[in-house]
A and B are shown apart, each in its own frame.
Chain A
Amino acid sequence: MRNPYRTQKIAFSLLFLATLLIVVPVGLIVIVIIFKGFPAINWQFLSDIPRQGMRSGGIFPAIIGTLYLVAGAIIFALPIGLLAAIYLSEYSKENVLNRIIRLAIINLSGVPSVVYGLFGLALFVVFFKFGASILAGSLTLGIMILPVIITTSREALESVPDSFREVSLSLGVSKWQTIRHIVLPNAIPGILTGTILGLGRAAGETAPILFTVAAFYLPRLPKSIFDQAMALPYHLYVISTQVPNVDEKIRYGTALVLLALVLFMNLVAIIIRYQFRRRKKW
């Protein structure tokens, strides 16, 4: 005879195991990186340039380079992404062109990051003659995170109840004024969340900056947006594979800084979202 309780227990165990399997690698990655990297973290490591062929000293130029790239990416991607999201959410009607636009956005988010790197090389570095520079790298990263920003911004705009739009219009407020004064202010937390998630992604990617900006070894800070720069993910790649005899501590220390930066950004996004959900009452 079948025992329904036994099959239930088996099912439950399988489900639980599968869930556990997701947590284990995340936990292990974080734990290993913290244990091995934390001893490297000190003020000198964070504030000094790499020395002795990157075998000692710090990673300050890479931190600054990554911050520049992230800031640059957002300066390009946020305005364009937000305007596109407003158009798609508030103005676009259902037709072939808009279906193509939506499809393009979905596909854009599926493009492998190394392809963005090649694209950035061809377009910004070579064609526009920006050279390998912060400008070219930021633009490439900006294009890579555009779909994230457009999609999350659009969701944020669309989650503003239609009744708000309707009331505003019924008070003789024009459509643009309605978007400006009602829709946007209520969508800002969602837009911010999406933007920060995009930034986190931009900070962590290696491939798009590989050909467009990243310097192998540049023990000084960039002076303009046409300079090359070091960046954390690429620096990590270099000291892990290209330079022999780098102390494990330094490699894991670099990984820890990068991880902390990305996790910090995601944490900010989560806090904003949480605060917003708590306040929102409609």
Chain B
Amino acid sequence: MKKIETKNLKLWYGKFQALKSVNSAFTANRITAIIGPSGCGKSTLLRVFNRMNDLIEGIRTEGEVVIDNENILDSKTDLVVLRKKVGMVFQRPNPFPLSIYENIVFGEKIHVDHVSKESLDEIVERSLKDVLLWDELKDRLKEPALRLSLEQKQRLCIARLIAVKPDVLLMDEPCSTLDPQSTSRVEELMRELKNKYTIIIVTHNMQQAARVSDDTGFMLLGELIEFGQTHNIFTAPKDKRTEDYITGRYG
């Protein structure tokens, strides 16, 4: 099932065109990796899906991005609703300077009036279990989240995100600050999560894309050069530029 589709998506930062007619389709319950060299527009594309690019002044888009049959680029789109549905995990683990517990219930407390202590407790337990942190942290919920290890922080950020019940998880180089072992554990987590969510991951790391994703898109200079099943992209790329990139001829 198609979850997200982009049609002739173009984006400009001022005069600079960062995305050039991107056509793509992202399937539910699969992990799609977007790869490409620095500055190719992969993070920009990711940030179109939850309209985080709106924070930057002088941005302009054309084309359509359809999520669940709605063009989210429409000016009438309710960003609060969109961002609850399409959540994001950032490059640097960025928990709030609050307790572990308060980090996870942050969204729920703001979105829902008079939420009961029991339902908050339940959200914390369920979210932490989903990111496989519950056993480690269940007795430390009142501790400041900033005291956790980097990997735990990033898992906590994922827990904080899934506590607001999104459908789509956008991940912007979620492992780039983690060591190899933590990375492989987070990748394991991603495979678990794809049963419930549509996951799109931007990564610098081609091995990671090959390991974790079902589909892969390769971007270069704002263009989506090739898009298809990961296996095909890595073993039989159709485009010469894709081949050059995955064989390591670009930076």
Interface of A with B (CB < 8 Å)? 93, 161, 163-164, 166-174, 177, 181-182, 186, 280-282
Contacts and interface: CB of A to CB of B under 8 A. Distances in A.
Contact of B94 (A163, A181, A280, A281): A163
10 contacts: A164-B94, A164-B96, A170-B83, A170-B90, A171-B160, A172-B79, A172-B164, A177-B110, A186-B97, A280-B97
Contacts of A181: 106, 110
A93 B57 contact: yes
Given A171-B84, A181-B106, 4 more contacts: A166-B94, A169-B55, A170-B90, A172-B85
Given A186-B97, A281-B97, A282-B97, A166 B52 contact: yes
Nearest to B109: A181
B83 A182 contact: no
Contacts of A281: 97, 146
A46 to B, nearest CB: 42
Contacts of A168: 96, 106
A167 B91 CA distance: 11
A166 B52 CA distance: 8
Interface in B159-181: 160-161, 164
A187 to B, nearest CB: 12
Given A186-B97, A282-B146, A166 B81 contact: no
Interface residues of B, number: 27
Interface in B36-94: 50, 52, 55, 57, 79-85, 87-88, 90, 92, 94
B120 to A, nearest CB: 15
Contacts of A161: 94
The 10 closest A-B pairs by CB, nearest first: A172-B84, A172-B83, A170-B88, A171-B107, A163-B94, A281-B146, A172-B80, A173-B110, A167-B94, A177-B110
Contacts of B161: 170-171
Contact of B87 (A93, A171, A177, A280): A171
Nearest to A169: B83
Contact of A174 (B50, B80, B85, B90): B80
Contacts of A177: 110
A170 B96 contact: no
A161 B96 CA distance: 10
Given A166-B52, A166-B90, A280-B97, A171 B106 contact: yes
A171 B83 contact: yes
Nearest to A93: B57
B238 interface: no
B96 A167 contact: yes
A167 B156 CA distance: 13
A199 B55 CA distance: 36
Nearest to B160: A171
B138 interface: no
Contacts of B94: 161, 163-164, 166-167
B92 A163 contact: yes
A162 to B, nearest CB: 9
